[in-house]
Amino acid sequence: MSPVETLTALLSRIDQPGFGPTTPHPSAASLRMPDRASAHEVLRVWAAFDDRYPGPLAAQRGHQPIATPAGVVVAKPMKKLLRYVCYESIADEIEDDDETVAYAKELARDFAEEMPGFGVILEPNEHPDRLLWMPPDAEPVVVWYEDDAFARREPFSAWAASLFG
Protein backbone atom coordinates (compact mmCIF):
# COMPACT_ATOMS: atom_id res chain seq x y z
CA MET A 1 0.00 0.00 0.00
CA SER A 2 1.37 3.45 -0.87
CA PRO A 3 1.85 6.08 1.87
CA VAL A 4 -1.18 7.99 0.57
CA GLU A 5 -3.32 4.85 0.55
CA THR A 6 -2.14 3.98 4.08
CA LEU A 7 -3.03 7.44 5.34
CA THR A 8 -6.38 7.57 3.51
CA ALA A 9 -7.38 4.18 4.97
CA LEU A 10 -6.34 5.33 8.43
CA LEU A 11 -8.35 8.54 8.21
CA SER A 12 -11.48 6.63 7.21
CA ARG A 13 -11.18 4.63 10.48
CA ILE A 14 -10.39 7.42 12.93
CA ASP A 15 -13.13 7.86 15.50
CA GLN A 16 -13.52 11.62 15.36
CA PRO A 17 -15.28 11.98 18.74
CA GLY A 18 -12.27 10.29 20.36
CA PHE A 19 -9.84 12.35 18.31
CA GLY A 20 -11.67 15.62 18.84
CA PRO A 21 -13.25 17.99 16.37
CA THR A 22 -11.34 18.40 13.15
CA THR A 23 -11.19 21.32 10.77
CA PRO A 24 -10.08 20.53 7.24
CA HIS A 25 -7.66 23.13 5.92
CA PRO A 26 -9.45 25.14 3.21
CA SER A 27 -6.38 25.02 0.94
CA ALA A 28 -5.44 21.38 1.65
CA ALA A 29 -5.40 20.34 -1.99
CA SER A 30 -2.96 23.09 -2.93
CA LEU A 31 -0.66 23.36 0.11
CA ARG A 32 2.80 24.57 -0.72
CA MET A 33 6.09 24.71 1.11
CA PRO A 34 7.73 28.00 2.16
CA ASP A 35 9.85 27.82 -1.03
CA ARG A 36 6.60 27.63 -3.07
CA ALA A 37 7.06 23.93 -4.03
CA SER A 38 3.98 21.76 -3.68
CA ALA A 39 3.67 20.08 -0.29
CA HIS A 40 3.94 16.28 -0.31
CA GLU A 41 0.67 14.51 -0.97
CA VAL A 42 0.51 12.90 2.50
CA LEU A 43 0.53 16.37 4.09
CA ARG A 44 -2.23 17.47 1.74
CA VAL A 45 -4.28 14.35 2.57
CA TRP A 46 -3.86 14.91 6.31
CA ALA A 47 -4.67 18.63 5.95
CA ALA A 48 -7.90 17.72 4.14
CA PHE A 49 -8.80 15.80 7.32
CA ASP A 50 -7.50 18.34 9.85
CA ASP A 51 -5.57 21.58 9.77
CA ARG A 52 -3.39 20.50 12.72
CA TYR A 53 -0.78 17.78 13.00
CA PRO A 54 -1.71 14.79 15.14
CA GLY A 55 -0.51 14.97 18.73
CA PRO A 56 2.96 13.42 18.83
CA LEU A 57 2.39 11.27 21.89
CA ALA A 58 -1.13 9.89 21.49
CA ALA A 59 -4.04 9.52 19.11
CA GLN A 60 -5.30 13.05 19.51
CA ARG A 61 -5.41 16.34 17.69
CA GLY A 62 -2.19 18.31 18.09
CA HIS A 63 -1.89 22.03 18.70
CA GLN A 64 0.38 22.94 15.78
CA PRO A 65 -1.19 24.17 12.55
CA ILE A 66 -0.01 22.54 9.34
CA ALA A 67 -0.30 25.65 7.21
CA THR A 68 -1.18 29.32 7.21
CA PRO A 69 -4.64 30.40 6.05
CA ALA A 70 -3.00 31.15 2.68
CA GLY A 71 -1.95 27.48 2.33
CA VAL A 72 1.79 27.76 3.07
CA VAL A 73 3.12 24.95 5.27
CA VAL A 74 4.35 26.32 8.60
CA ALA A 75 7.92 25.01 8.65
CA LYS A 76 11.48 26.22 8.97
CA PRO A 77 14.48 25.30 6.87
CA MET A 78 16.07 22.21 8.39
CA LYS A 79 19.36 24.07 8.71
CA LYS A 80 17.75 26.51 11.18
CA LEU A 81 15.68 23.84 12.93
CA LEU A 82 18.68 21.55 13.44
CA ARG A 83 20.81 24.42 14.73
CA TYR A 84 18.09 25.08 17.31
CA VAL A 85 17.72 21.42 18.33
CA CYS A 86 21.42 20.57 18.43
CA TYR A 87 22.83 23.82 19.78
CA GLU A 88 20.55 26.75 20.64
CA SER A 89 18.20 24.75 22.90
CA ILE A 90 21.16 23.83 25.14
CA ALA A 91 23.42 26.86 24.59
CA ASP A 92 22.93 28.17 28.15
CA GLU A 93 24.03 24.82 29.56
CA ILE A 94 27.21 24.54 27.48
CA GLU A 95 28.27 28.16 26.99
CA ASP A 96 31.38 27.79 29.17
CA ASP A 97 32.69 24.77 27.24
CA ASP A 98 34.10 25.91 23.89
CA GLU A 99 34.75 22.36 22.73
CA THR A 100 31.15 21.28 23.36
CA VAL A 101 29.80 24.43 21.68
CA ALA A 102 31.93 23.72 18.60
CA TYR A 103 30.78 20.07 18.61
CA ALA A 104 27.09 21.01 18.84
CA LYS A 105 27.38 23.52 16.00
CA GLU A 106 29.27 21.03 13.83
CA LEU A 107 26.68 18.36 14.56
CA ALA A 108 23.91 20.72 13.42
CA ARG A 109 25.81 21.50 10.20
CA ASP A 110 26.44 17.82 9.48
CA PHE A 111 22.78 16.89 10.01
CA ALA A 112 21.68 19.82 7.83
CA GLU A 113 23.77 18.44 4.96
CA GLU A 114 22.10 15.03 5.36
CA MET A 115 18.59 16.41 5.85
CA PRO A 116 17.69 19.10 3.30
CA GLY A 117 14.25 20.63 3.15
CA PHE A 118 11.99 21.94 5.88
CA GLY A 119 10.83 20.78 9.29
CA VAL A 120 8.71 21.30 12.36
CA ILE A 121 9.31 20.41 16.00
CA LEU A 122 6.17 18.42 16.79
CA GLU A 123 6.34 18.75 20.57
CA PRO A 124 8.84 21.41 21.65
CA ASN A 125 8.61 20.61 25.36
CA GLU A 126 9.18 16.85 25.19
CA HIS A 127 12.31 14.74 25.08
CA PRO A 128 13.43 13.15 22.86
CA ASP A 129 12.83 15.88 20.31
CA ARG A 130 10.36 14.76 17.64
CA LEU A 131 10.78 16.56 14.34
CA LEU A 132 8.77 16.25 11.18
CA TRP A 133 11.37 16.44 8.42
CA MET A 134 9.98 17.37 5.01
CA PRO A 135 12.59 16.42 2.41
CA PRO A 136 12.23 18.09 -1.00
CA ASP A 137 11.19 14.99 -2.95
CA ALA A 138 10.04 12.37 -0.48
CA GLU A 139 7.36 11.65 2.09
CA PRO A 140 7.78 13.62 5.33
CA VAL A 141 9.53 11.64 8.05
CA VAL A 142 9.17 11.84 11.83
CA VAL A 143 12.63 11.70 13.39
CA TRP A 144 13.57 11.41 17.04
CA TYR A 145 16.67 13.32 18.18
CA GLU A 146 18.32 12.02 21.33
CA ASP A 147 21.91 11.66 22.49
CA ASP A 148 23.32 13.52 19.47
CA ALA A 149 21.68 11.18 16.95
CA PHE A 150 18.53 10.54 14.97
CA ALA A 151 18.20 6.92 16.00
CA ARG A 152 14.59 6.53 14.93
CA ARG A 153 12.96 7.59 11.66
CA GLU A 154 9.43 6.82 10.56
CA PRO A 155 7.53 8.00 7.47
CA PHE A 156 4.65 10.32 8.40
CA SER A 157 1.99 7.88 7.14
CA ALA A 158 3.45 4.98 9.17
CA TRP A 159 3.87 7.18 12.25
CA ALA A 160 0.23 8.34 12.05
CA ALA A 161 -0.88 4.72 11.60
CA SER A 162 1.10 3.69 14.69
CA LEU A 163 -0.59 6.45 16.73
CA PHE A 164 -4.08 5.41 15.68
CA GLY A 165 -3.56 1.70 15.03
∠ CA 114-111-97, rounded to 5°:
160
Specify the number of domains making up the chain: 1
Angle at which helices 156-164 and 41-49 cross, to 10°: 30
pLDDT, position 104: 93
Tell me the pLDDT tens digit for each residue of 39-95.
999 999 999 999 998 876 556 677 889 999 999 999 999 999 999 999 988 888 888
How far apart CA 71 and CA 101 sit, in angstroms, is 37
Q: How many CA atoms lie within 13 A of 134 on its CB side?
A: 24
- Contact yes or no for 151/144 (Cβ under 8 A): yes
Tell me the pLDDT tens digit for each residue of 7-25.
888 888 776 556 667 889 9
Tell me the pLDDT tens digit for each residue of 89-139.
888 888 888 999 999 999 999 999 999 999 999 877 777 788 999 999 999
Radius of gyration of the chain (CA): 16
Tell me the pLDDT tens digit for each residue of 137-153.
999 999 999 889 998 99
pLDDT, position 73: 98
Give me the domain span that covers residue 35. 3-164
